[in-house]
Chains A and B, each alone.
Chain A
């Protein structure tokens, strides 16, 4: 996941490297995703990776609804 100054810079980069477009999200969405993913303490014995259902719920909350975000 890379950061760009703007949408125009994403398009330039995709053209330059002949890559298909993925999905662009705002910095705020990325921050909320980061908090959701990484705030739970991975040192704790109870910590475990999120289930598919839990990840889907996170994506729904962030309005990540396109097929790009589908896990199954």
Chain B
């Protein structure tokens, strides 16, 4: 089968899985659901990462980020009525209700003092709240070190 067709199916499965389960799949999950070998699933992850669709863990080639979803717990917890998710950053935390088209509560904290900051998305709108977002890395360098970004 054409690799681009495989990658399209894997992308679809990765996002569906993350939306349904709260975290991106392992390669063995993708392999099982798409009836392919784990090696083929991992090779597709690599191609999707090369295309900047996924970010992989360097040590094992599993998904670290299928933006906006994080595969590991972070300081950006997103709760919908059905389940909870972790965003990779505050932008991605907001991106989860934007992607799901669901109401959500985002539990974050001030990166300086640690005070809890709760944001609420209702009916496609962010409720007014105190706070500010800081981007540390200029856009042209975002992919130089995506985990820090």
Interface residues of A (CB under 8 A from B): 1-7, 9-10, 12-13, 16, 19, 22-31, 33-35, 37-39, 41-45, 47, 49, 55, 59, 67-72
Contact = CB atoms under 8 A, between A and B. Distances in A.
Given A1-B91, A10-B112, A37-B95, A27 B131 contact: yes
Contacts of A7: 132
Q: Chain B contact residues (Cβ within 8 angstroms of A): what range?
A: 35 or more
B interface SS class:
mixed
B77 interface: no
B126 interface: yes
> Which of B96, B134, B138 gathers the greatest number of chain A CB atoms within 10 Å?
B134
Interface string B107-149: 0111111010101010011101111111111111000000001
Interface stretch (B11-19, B33-41, B55-63): B11-19
